[in-house]
Each structure stands twice: as structure tokens, then as C-alpha cells.
Amino acid sequence: MALPSLENTANRQERFPRLGCGNSSGDHLKASIARVQGDFKNANCAKDFKDPNAAINKATQVGFSDQGTPNFNSVNGQVVPAAHSPGLGRYNPFTRSINLNAAINWVNPANTNATLSGQPYNYNALAAMANFLGVPSVSGAQLMDITILQELSHYKGAIGNPDNPSVEKSLWNDCIN
């Protein structure tokens, strides 16, 4: 797996600027939707979806919903998500809606309120995603982008179950990196 280079990251940010991104989650979402739609211009990203045009259109409908505070437990010294803990986002197969979890601090995902074994806990969603993907770091913009792409993959994905780590890593490599 190729790790992202600073050059690739800089090029991606040039191609998909923050579009005047302000300080609210809504501003970040607008910018992320624009970047994700631009990602589909990359043939490697588009091939990960059965119907890229439908996924591009669905991206414009992504919103926020209160899915609850992320919960974690300590297992053998490792912090792991608790059973049924809310994640970063959710695709609803009945309504076909995609929403990001409003409980995530999308303005500063490294400082998200959570619980660890029932106690207040500061969840660093950026470090968690970087660790999950096996990459050195993930920016806030990249975290929102990969979350949207992962949820879009539930909607029209072509490369398998997006909850499978290998599928999410493919989305990262094909669409973001």
C-alpha cells in the first residue's frame, strides 16, 4: 500500500480547494461534498462505484443527524469501540439517506467528546482513522471525505462491503490518496 506523499496531498488540496470553508460543520460539509464529487473524475475512484453519477448526485444530499456520542471500552489496554457505538456516519438503506454523526466535532475531529468505559473521553478521530487505514496522518478534510465516500459505497459501491477494512482502504487509495 502506497502511503500518501506531501506532494499528493498538496496537489489534491490545490485541485479541490476548501471553497472558502468557514468555521462551522456545515461549511466543512459543503467543501467536502465538492471534493468528493471531484474525486469521481479520477477513474480509479469512479470504478469503485456501480453508478458513479448516482453517487455524485447522492453526495449533494449528505447531511448531519444526531447519532449519539461515540462510546469506547478498554480491552487489554486498547481503546476499542463499544458494541453498538455510533460511528462517524450512517447510510440508511430504507430512506437511502446519508448523514454524518453530528456528535463528531467535524471542525476539530481530534477533539471529539466521547466516553471510555462510561467516563468522559477525548476521542481523536483523526488519529483513529489514520491508524485504521495504516497511514501516517489524516486531516479533518480527509476524514470527512472518506466518511462520505464510505457511506456512498453502502449506497452504490462496487468493491464489497464498505464496513470491511480492505474496502475502506481501497476507497482511501483510489479516491483520496
Largest distance between two CA atoms of the chain = 45
pLDDT more than 70, % of the chain: 88
* Strand partners for 122: 113
Question: Can you give the pLDDT at residue 5?
Answer: 36
pLDDT tens for 82-91 read: 999 999 999 9
Report helix, strand or coil for 155: helix
Cell (9 digits) for 81: 469501540
Question: Can you give the pLDDT at residue 7?
Answer: 37
If you count them, how many residues does the chain have? 177
At which residue does the C-alpha cell 465516500 appear? Answer: 149
Question: Can you give the pLDDT at residue 23?
Answer: 72
Q: pLDDT under 70 in the chain at which residues?
A: 1-22
pLDDT tens for 140-171 read: 999 999 999 999 999 999 999 999 999 999 99
Cell (9 digits) for 140: 479533518
Q: Where are the domains of the chain?
A: 24-176
Question: Can you give the pLDDT at residue 47?
Answer: 98
For the entire predicted model, the pTM comes to 0.86
Cell (9 digits) for 82: 463499544
- What span, in angstroms and rounded, lies between the C-alpha atoms of 55 and 70? 27
- Residue 167: CA atoms inside 13 Å, Cβ hemisphere, count? 18
Let me know the angle formed at the C-alpha of 149 by 40 and 28, rounded to the nearest 5 degrees: 95
- What span, in angstroms and rounded, lies between the C-alpha atoms of 53 and 59? 10
